Chains A and B, each alone.
Chain A
């Protein structure tokens, strides 16, 4: 079988970017949560807030460190595998990606050290400021990256001269049509991710009766937050979808598994899209619902995949199913938030073990939803790299062979498997040791304090005897 460098490059990019996304999507939400906890402590001087902030800062440190490590790879991917694209788009993408790096460094140099190591050493107000600046910085980083990505979906403000994009208007290019929707959708996704992780971990601590005062507060806050944000995310997602319908109708057609342009389109709950036959097998749907959602009329016409030739269609089954995974998890989140409200009104929010256990089980779901959502939007753009202007095939590195791409794909999977395993393993130990009174906590013996490096903010040992970890 011939190895296809294009397919392998796409797989590789998908792999490294999915792996990387897991970390920032969590740290963006968590940074804001830590800033909130610091603010509450500053205002009320209630030590419970301080204990929570301390614990979550340790988790933040480890996750941030892993995000930085996986991010280094990202900054080289564009050149190694997509050199034609990088060269063509460099006038716009270069400054944007660099601004992201610059923002991250500025943040790390100036404020992260104070947040991680300044507790008790700098005035409380300054520590709070550092937390707020770190949270702000994560959003500025996301701003640049999402702007660059949105431009690839809805390019504008540029002119193509001699196969290179030249920027005519920075503001038009940066604030391109899909950017506000994507940014809002992703920002809320980050808060939801942070919210569900904090809720799940707090529930885990409550199930073990650890630091009840602090963890009840944390869980209560999270459930209020999720009660607001989970439904809001559904609405923002809907608006994002309508924006996509306007600019990338083929993507929406793939999301809905809609082959022929027509009115009275049903909302498919289940189907098996068959790209070769250009039709679905085993359709089960709600009549007219898709028309209603997308056009706000029952018989509204929706453009089908048949408007473009089969070569210009995205991989329909992947987009269709990823979309259903994302929406399904979103609905589950809304259900969990309302279940929390019901239990709160009965006064059993902190005692209902089934609910608490479900929350623990839901920790991984927001990450899955985010990855599924990104697969929808990125695969849905195929075969375009810059929508309507440059295809994946045109953007890939011409000198790349299938064997080279396969070698690095296997290499990155192997490297990340080790790093991810070590990181996740360590993170679970940090959590297991979390929120214990100081005397019961495991610390690294003679730990040397080395500032500035995120991971040194956590003092949990990496191995030693597993039994001594209190569960």
Chain B
């Protein structure tokens, strides 16, 4: 219609927001999942301290994504949320408990045990729900005339349970490699020990989902076994990154596993996008069907283009200030 296709720009912004959220909240949710398995309370303090300065900034991307969807692709917002009604509630409840536990655990001695539990369970439930959302997206939604017509538990199938558990393993892997990067001594030793196991689980789930997905959605089958062979590069690169994680662990190079894990996520994400493009509410609506009016997309774009660089800059600065190792018995000062 005009010089730019605003829907494509918005798809780019929201797509970027989602991967930022997954990567950044992923490692701190992952630490929550690993929490009960930590060797001792000291290790738990290190885990907490390593994400304390950044975790709530990480969650801002989730809210930005939610609000952005309502403004730019309202159909996604008004189909996904009713379809995932119970899942969304569980995710929000999980995130709230975890956030509050995060704050009060530090200020609490007598009740610390309870805040620890809230932190772990909140993280696990929120992660499972997010993984199930991905699975439900691959499955598609029963929509008639722009309105969701399915039931309350359509999203909960063996496939989505697998993606939910898969994301729990995936976030735990992000968490353990983050911990390798940020810790030392016995905490890092522990993180090095569990990383290969988590990697194996992630690869297993990755394989099962990759084989299963084409059977869940014929469009995906067509895409992968049709004419476009170039897209096989994404799973290939993801596997290469998995190999790099393993090598990084073997050679004990603290930075490598985390960066390579990010690679696994990015290439898997791109693989998912090319599988589904341009379907945004599968099986029948494209991102142009789901878009809001162009003037609405433009109205918000102005503000968002101004704010995203500020948020990115501030985020980068925060990570820079809190770079380096977290030691046992000390936080950042």
Contact = CB atoms under 8 A, between A and B. Distances in A.
B81 A83 contact: yes
B26 interface: no
A3 B197 CA distance: 47
Main secondary structure of the interface of A (DSSP, over half): helix
A94 B89 contact: no
A215 to B, nearest CB: 25
B104 A453 contact: no
Contact of A463 (B67, B109, B311, B333): B109
A87 interface: yes
B310 interface: yes
Contacts of B147: 83-84, 87, 398-399
B52 A448 contact: yes
A426 B103 CA distance: 11
Contacts of B318: 451-452
Nearest to B81: A79
Given A109-B311, A450-B52, A456-B106, 6 more contacts: A75-B66, A79-B80, A80-B81, A91-B74, A398-B148, A449-B333
A422 interface: yes
Interface stretch (A96-104, A267-275, A300-308): A96-104
B93 interface: yes
B231 interface: no
B74 A86 contact: yes
A65 to B, nearest CB: 7
Contacts of A456: 52, 103, 106
A186 to B, nearest CB: 21
Interface stretch (A240-248, A351-359, A407-415): A407-415
A408 B54 CA distance: 30
Interface in A95-149: 95, 97-102, 105-106, 108-110
Nearest to B95: A72
A355 to B, nearest CB: 35
Contact of B303 (A102, A403, A415, A444): A102
B21 to A, nearest CB: 13
B332 A450 contact: yes
A426 B53 contact: no
A321 to B, nearest CB: 31
Contact of A90 (B77, B304, B314): B77
A93 interface: yes
Interface stretch (B35-43, B55-63, B174-182, B250-258): B55-63
B107 A462 contact: yes
Nearest to A461: B107
A363 interface: no
A464 interface: yes
A381 to B, nearest CB: 21
B327 to A, nearest CB: 12
A98 B86 CA distance: 24
A428 interface: no
6 contacts: A72-B59, A79-B77, A86-B78, A105-B64, A450-B331, A464-B110
A452 B57 contact: yes
B15 interface: no
B324 interface: no
Interface string B88-104: 11001101110110011
B82 A400 contact: yes
A175 to B, nearest CB: 15
Interface residues of A, number: 68
Nearest to A443: B107
Contacts of B299: 95, 167, 170
Contacts, number: 219
B88 A106 contact: no
Contacts of A90: 70-71, 74, 77-78, 292, 296
A78 interface: yes
Interface of B: 49, 52-57, 59-60, 62-64, 66-68, 70-72, 74-75, 77-83, 85-86, 88-89, 92-93, 95-97, 99-100, 103-104, 106-111, 146-152, 292-293, 295-296, 299-300, 303-304, 307, 310-311, 314-315, 318, 321, 330-333
A401 interface: yes
A184 interface: no
Nearest to B143: A399
A76 B88 contact: yes
A80 B77 CA distance: 9
Contact of B151 (A71, A92, A399, A462): A399
B107 A460 contact: yes
Between A86, A101, A110, the greatest number of chain B beta carbons within 10 A of the residue's beta carbon is seen for A101
A104 B80 CA distance: 25
A166 interface: yes
B311 A69 contact: no
Q: Which 5 A-B pairs have the closest CB atoms?
A: A448-B331, A94-B71, A79-B81, A90-B74, A87-B78
B310 to A, nearest CB: 6
Contacts of A92: 296
A424 interface: no
Contacts of B57: 109, 452
B88 to A, nearest CB: 6
B106 A167 contact: no
A120 to B, nearest CB: 15
A399 B304 contact: no
Contacts of A190: none
B70 A79 contact: yes
Contact of B67 (A75, A106, A415, A455): A75
Contacts of B148: 83, 397-399
A72 B66 CA distance: 9
B48 to A, nearest CB: 9
Given A75-B63, A91-B296, A419 B149 contact: no
Given A78-B70, A105-B60, A110-B314, A448 B86 contact: no
Nearest to B111: A463
A447 interface: yes
Interface string A432-471: 0000000000001011111111011000111110000000
Contact of B293 (A109, A166, A451, A462): A166
B72 A94 contact: yes
A65 B103 contact: yes
A221 interface: no
Given A80-B88, A94-B300, A99-B300, A463 B70 contact: no
A335 interface: no
A76 B66 contact: yes
A76 B81 contact: yes
B99 to A, nearest CB: 6
A97 B304 CA distance: 12
A279 to B, nearest CB: 40
A222 to B, nearest CB: 29
A73 interface: yes
A404 interface: yes
B70 A98 contact: yes
